[in-house]
Each structure stands twice: as structure tokens, then as C-alpha cells.
Amino acid sequence: MTSSSDILNARILVVDDRKGNVELLHGMLSSAGYTSIACTMNPREVCDLHRTNRYDLILLDLMMPGMDGFQVMECLREIESEAGYESGFQVQSQGERTALPVLVITAQPQHKERALQAGAKGFITKPFDRLQMLTHIHDVLEIRQLQKQLQKFAVRSEGVPEEKIFPRETGDLFDQLAGNLPQVFWIWDVHDKTFRYINPEWEKMTGQRVGRGDRLETIFEPVHPEDMERVLREAADLPLGGVDHDYRLLLPDMSIRWVHLRTFPIKDSAGVHRIVGVMDDITQRKQADQQLLQVSHYDALTHLPNRVLFYESLRKVIKQSEMNHRIVSVLFLDIDNFKNINDTLGFALGDELLREFSLRLLECLRVTDIVARIGGDEFGCILVSADDLGNAGLVASKIREALRQPFDLQGHQVTVTASIGISVYPIDSVDADTLVKNGDTAMYRSKTAGRDTYRFFTPEMNVRAIEKLDQENALRKALDRDEFVLHYQPKVDLSGGWVTGMEALLRWKRPEHGVVGPLEFIPALEQTGLITQVGAWVIESVCRQIAEWRHAGIGEIPVSVNVSGRQFSRGTLNQDVIRATQANGIQPALLEFELQTERALRENSIDSDLLELELTESSLMTHAKKTVSILQRLKVLGIQISIDDFGTGYSSLSYVKRFPIDVLKIDRSFIQEITTNSADAAITTAIIDMAHSLHVRVVAEGVETAEQFDFLKGRGCDEVQGFYLSPPLPANEISQLLLSGNRRLKPTLCRPNAGESACSS
Ligand code: C2E
Ligand code: MG
Ligand code: MG
């Protein structure tokens, strides 16, 4: 039997790089009565200390600088093998041979599984729970003491004639020791292949009676059928020395217990004559392992494999396919506009949608395919097929088709689409990471192609993806490096040819790329959210420019500025302003744009009606309600509002009534063929008439020829803008232009139909 003084005198080593933890653990242990506690904050000393002191228990932190807990366990394992024992932490010290328990200190559940594999006996979880920790330590030390005593017994009895051991020992010391062990313990005779002893724990665990004289096979009877073959195969090694393995028992009540069996030989002068077996019930640990595996490999919401398992599976599938020359397709899916659903219906229904979506996906695939949730609204599928390249495309179409049916989310009918990217092993890559990356690239290509579609990866996409990344990185620095400039394009009134104002158009002087036009980088500014800062810079620069022209004696020049819808919906206001505005029921993100605009006007003493904001139809229509209220407030400030590129979007004049619009700009695509295409001519004429009936001014964009100019003049269009009159020019050239003449632009500034470059010469 173990005594509590044996336990309290056990040699314990605490290893943690944090002084606070060491002191805390030391304090808890000594206040519980432990007398022999050593501590170190240096993981590198642990093995040397253990060699000298042979601890009974080591409490080991996992995350330590220089050498982590896993490395320490590795080194402890080496000490064991130096001592001649291969498995587990078995320590030999002057005839004693027992398992050195290591309890791992960790706050991270994902480390537990690895720690168990590395040989840890259990865990002390941070933050420390005093009672739980002390109970755990006590139990571990009690087992350790019992093992030590049994060990001594086994050593003492070596070479002693059998009848002198068992008849005498059974019933007294031996029985007390072995009978009180919390593990199954048995002694088996190598020569007559029967049990010499088996403690009552076996019957308690299995309900099966095994006693002296029974054959070894009897304890294998309850082995789970699926583990039977392996267990019997490994048991064949038993007479040679030791087995050390886990397996399942299937008990009469059909419950399953996991056991760990370790055996070791007892030798006399003639060699091995006894085998001692110790069997632990490790069901709880296995269940914990399973739970850990579940947590670390499966997504809690959809129960699908998570990103970790997706990668592991993909690597495995690729390895198998290397051998049997199969094709593996990786499908990367992203739910389109998922954020909107979350924003409008709330997270609970967003989660519900993800669950339902995952079920639909599963329905579209074969049982052998793998579906995983890779991130928020991103899913991945792995399809294996013999040689059918088209399979992935078919599956993608099937998924799109399956999504046509709306989801019923607690009464809300929601239809979603997905953008899908496909990459194929071994065509696009032979390694998992690149396949996933390529699939992701192809998925983004589906998004930019208008969503609700799929794309196979092509190498050209990679070049584009890298370029895009480079561009984004360069854009992040462009504002600080003063690489943006504004060009100004005059607008002219058709009745007299007078300059009525300018449109400010953004240019990016990108090093090594020359002057880059806005169509090439505005989408990236919008996607990255940089448009907020760049847009603010544009408004500020324009206001400064208006002030400069005034100071230069040129006069008050109205300037229109293009505004992206995203500028209304993103904000980086400081917290004080957000709080203050929310208290007044005002949406801060909207307000930021207004504040910036108002500040720019005020600081440059500009009349607000000199500033005009150009918005496209689509940015007016997204978040229309929100936009109306911002525009109304901007109008109150006196700012002019125009609809840009009219005719390319919804082409409905109805919102001219809803929004406080001053100007309508007819898109260049109508003007281009206005003199040759009767439909374009009719539409343009109708737009001009309707706009006038709503008291809205009309500007025609992209006028390139005298014929177009004359046509528009004949139809009563108010203003024109285009290369025919002037290309967009740097501010100083505009200054010269305006200072030189009477501000009447003659249609001779540029050659008709010659494009922007020819115009600026
Ligand atoms: P937009 O607002 O419709 O601007 C007119 C575009 O037509 C300009 O292209 C201008 O250079 C071009 N253009 C003018 N006259 C003619 C012509 O006679 N023929 C032809 N073929 N083109 C003509 P740009 O400067 O490349 O700007 C393209 C678009 O980029 C703009 O279209 C506008 O939507 C956007 N953009 C420009 N600057 C900004 C900005 O500061 N912020 C935002 N959000 N968007 C901007
Ligand atoms: Mg514009
Ligand atoms: Mg336009």
C-alpha cells in the first residue's frame, strides 16, 4: 500500500519559463504538504537535473523560449533509452523501473493531442484550478508509488522458487499491493504459458473471471473484433520481451473500453521466465483525444472538416493519386455577398445559411469526395476521378444549379450564388498548397467575372494575381509618396462655347509604369478600401485648386469630382466622433465624407456650389436609402450633384426624381455613334428632353467630332465635354488655357477622332 507520506515526499520538478507560474505552482504544492519540490525556469537543465535527481513527477510548461516542452520530453525519452528501455518514460534506478509521469502545463487545447503523443501523462490547464490540479497530481503520484512497490516486489522475487513466492506472498504483502492497484496487473509464466497471478481489477473491468492456470488467450477474448488480429499478432512478441499498445475491449453490455497494455520481462539466470503485464483503462483519455481531434479537425458550425483537415486530406489524396495516376480536382467556393446576408439578417441566420449551404454541397457530391469549410463563407471540395477532367466542371454546374432553390431561413426565403475556382492535380500543380492557391485565384476570377460562375485555373491568372498584388502594395504607398495627380477636362456650354467648369480626373504616376489611368486602379482602391483616403485627397486637392485659380485671377471655376459609392460606406472616424454622432442618430461612416468635404471647402474659402459630385447610377442605387439621405445633406450644404455615365446602368429617370440631382451626364457610348446610329440618336434626344422637363442640366460626355457637337447643339443639350474641345490636362496647362483666351474653347484644340494623346500635344 502507498502511504500519504510516500506521496508527499515524492520528488517533483516544476519547469516553466515564467517566474510567476513557477512561484504559483511551488506555493500550491508546498501548501498541500509536498516536501520535495524543485523548480527551474531553464528548460535546458531539465534532463541533467533528472539524471541526477530521478524525479517522480515533472510538471512541464510547453511553450518556453530556447527549448519547448516537446523537446524536453524528447530528451527525457533519450534518458530512458540510455537506461535501456525503449518505450514511454521508464526509469531505471538501482533496480527500480517505473513510468516517469510528465504533466504538461498548457493553455492551448490544440497542443494536448501532440503532448499525449510525445508521452505526457496528462495536463495541467492554465489558468490553474488548484483543487483539480492537486487531485490530479496526487493520483499520478499514487500510481507511481504503487508501481515502484510492485517493481521492488518483482525484483525481489527473481530467482526465488515459485512456490516460495506465490503461496506465501498471496494473501499478504503481494495481495495487498497488487490487489489495490488501480490498474489490471498480471504475471504470466513463459514456460507453461499460463497466468500465475491476475489482480481483481480485471474482473472489475470486464466481468470476466481469469485466474491462476488460465491461458493467455483468455484475456484476449473480450478484445474488440476489429482490433483482434492486431492484438494477437503483437502478443506473439510477448515471450520475447514487451508489448506496449492500445486496443479496445468489447464488454458484455456492448460498451467499449480502451485499454493500454504494457508488459515487461522478468529474467533469471536462464533468461526470461515471467512476463508482467500492466493494463490501464484509458477510455477517458481516448475520448478526450477524440474530442480534441474533433475540435482541431472539424468545423463546429457545419461539422465539416476544417481547413487543417482539408489540407491533410488533400496531401493524402495527392500521394495516393501519384501512385494510381488519378486526377484530383480542388474546388474553391465562396458564397457571393455573404456579408450582406449577415448584415441584413443577423449572424444567427447567417450561421443557419452556412449550415444549410454545406448540406446542399454534400448533396451535390459523391460520398468519396471531401467537402470542408475552409473559412467564413469559403468551402473547399476535393474530387478524385480516374481520368475525367470534365468532372469538376459538371460538379460546379451542379452546385450552381442546386443553389437556384431558395433557402428557407426561419421563414426568410434567401437565394444565394457562389463563385467557384477549380484547380487540377497534376495539371496546375503537384503540391497541395499551390493547388489551393490556384483554386483561390480562379475563384477570384469568377468573382470579377460577375459571380455565380466557375473558372478553371490558368497560368495566366497567376501572372494577373501577382500583378494585382504588386499594384495593391504600390497603391498603399502612392498617397504618401505623392504619386497621384489630377488632370482637368473643361466642360463647355453649347450655346456660346464658354468654359463652364472642369471635371477632375485622377492619374497615378506610378514609378516605372508611367502615368496610369483611373480605370486601371480605381477598382483596386475600392477593393482595398483605400478609396476613402484617396477620395478625400481628391476633394481636398480640387478645393485647393479652385482657390489657386481664384488667387491667380482666373476666377471661380466650378469643378466636378468623381465619387465612388464605396466612399459613402466606409469610414475611419475617430471614436469620439463616432460616439457623438451615434448619440445624435447620425451614421458616422456617412458623416465622415461630409465632414471631409465641408472641411475642404471651408479651409479654402470655397463656395460650395463650385463643387460638384459625380456619382454613377450603380453607386446611387446601392444602398439607395442611405445615399438619398447623404445627398440631401450635401445638397443642403449647396454642393451640386450629377449622375455620371447615364445610360450604362439602370437608365431610369425615375431616380432623378428621388435623388436631388442637378446634372445628368450622358455616357460616351451613346455619343460615339450619335450621328450614325438612329437608335442612339433617339435615346439621346429623349434623355435630353426628359431631363429638361425635370429641370436637370444635361452634359454630353466624350464628344469627339464636329458632327456630334452640332447634333447635340441642335437637340438642346446644355454642355459638352470631350476631346473635340480639350483632353484632360494638368492644372498648369488649364491655367494657361484659361488665362490666354476669353474662356471660349474653340473646337480646334485637338484633332477629331485622334484620342487623348493627340489632343494634349
Ligand atoms: P468618367 O467620370 O466618365 O470620366 C470621363 C472619362 O472619359 C475620362 O477617362 C476622360 O479622359 C474620358 N474622355 C473624355 N473625353 C473623351 C473623349 O472625347 N473620347 C474618349 N474616348 N474619352 C474621353 P479617365 O480619365 O480615364 O477616367 C475614367 C473613369 O475613372 C472616369 O470616368 C471616372 O468614372 C473614374 N475616375 C476618374 N477619376 C476619378 C476619381 O478621382 N475618383 C473616382 N472614384 N473615379 C474616378
Ligand atoms: Mg465623371
Ligand atoms: Mg462619365
Q: Which domains does the chain have, with CATH numbers?
A: 1-158 (3.40.50.2300), 169-297 (3.30.450.20), 298-478 (3.30.70.270), 484-760 (3.20.20.450)
- Is the CB of 489 within 6 Å of ligand 1? yes
- CB of 564 closer than 6 angstroms to any ligand 1 atom: yes
Q: What digits encode the pLDDT tens for the residues 328-350?
A: 999 999 999 898 888 788 889 99
Q: Quick check: 92 and 83 in contact, CB under 8 A?
A: yes
Q: What percent of the chain has pLDDT over 90?
A: 40
Ligand nearest the Cα atom of residue 645: 3
Residue closest via CA to ligand 1's atom 34 equals 562
Q: DSSP secondary structure string, 128-176? A: P-HHHHHHHHHHHHHHHHHHHHHHHHHHHTTTS-HHHHHHHHTTTHHHH
Query: In the predicted model, what is the mean pLDDT of residues 419-442?
Result: 92
Q: How do residues 522-568 score in pLDDT, each as one tens digit?
A: 989 988 889 989 999 999 999 999 999 999 888 899 999 999 887 87
Cα diameter, the chain: 128
- Mean pLDDT is lowest, of 128-142, 410-424, 529-543, for 128-142
Residue 216: DSSP 8-state: G
Residue range 6-25: average pLDDT? Answer: 89
Confidence category of residue 659, pLDDT binned at 50, 70, 90: confident
Decide: 21 in ligand 1 pocket, CB within 6 A. Answer: no
Per-residue model confidence (pLDDT) at position 573 = 43
Given a cut of 80, is residue 758 above it in pLDDT? no
Q: Looking at ligand 1, which atom is closest to the CA of residue 526?
A: 44
- Percent of the chain residues past pLDDT 70, beyond the cut: 84
Instruction: Give the residue-averaged pLDDT of 566-573.
Output: 59
Q: How far is the CA of 611 from the centre of ligand 2 (A)?
A: 13
Pocket test for ligand 1, best of 562, 567, 745 (most atoms within 8 A of CB): 562
Asked whether the predicted pLDDT for residue 611 surpasses 80, the reply is yes
Residue closest to 527 by CA, chosen among 488, 565, 479, 583: 565
- Highest-pLDDT range among 112-126, 166-180, 562-576: 112-126
* Higher pLDDT pick, 97 / 31: 31
Beta strand 184-189 pairing with 271-281: antiparallel
Q: Is residue 673 within 8 Å of residue 684, measured between CB atoms?
A: no
Look up residue 164 and give its amino acid.
K
Closest CA to 106 of 93, 124, 129: 124
For residue 562, report the distance from its CA to the centre of ligand 2, in Å: 5
| pLDDT exceeds 50 at position 217 | yes
Highest mean predicted confidence (pLDDT) among 93-102, 540-549, 732-741: 540-549
Q: How confident is the model at residue 98 (pLDDT cuts 50, 70, 90)?
A: very low
How many C-beta atoms surround the C-beta of residue 178 within 10 A? 24
Q: How far is the CA of 631 from the centre of ligand 3 (A)?
A: 19
Averaged pLDDT, 30-48: 92
Q: Is 519 in the pocket of ligand 1 (CB under 6 A)?
A: yes
Q: For ligand 1, atom 27, name the residue with the nearest CA.
A: 518
pLDDT tens digits along 443-469: 999 988 888 889 999 888 777 777 888
pLDDT in tens, 144-157: 777 676 666 655 55
723 CB within 6 A, ligand 1? yes
Highest mean pLDDT (candidates 281-295, 402-416, 744-758): 402-416
Residue range 164-177, pLDDT digits in tens:
444 444 456 677 77
Checking if the pLDDT of 657 tops 90, the result is: no
- Nearest ligand, CA 506: 1
| 743 C-alpha to ligand 1 centroid (Å) | 22
Q: How far is the CA of 744 from the centre of ligand 2 (A)?
A: 22
The tens digit of pLDDT for each residue in 23-33 reads: 889 988 998 89
**Ligand 2 centroid, distance to 676 Cα (angstroms):** 25
What is each CA distance from 137 to 7, 54, 87, 405, in whole angstroms?
A: 10, 17, 22, 57
pLDDT at site 383 = 93
Atom of ligand 1 nearest to the CA of 667: 3
Query: What H or E segment, with its residue span, contains residue 472?
Result: helix 459-478
Q: What is the distance in A from the centroid of ligand 2 to the CA of 480?
A: 25
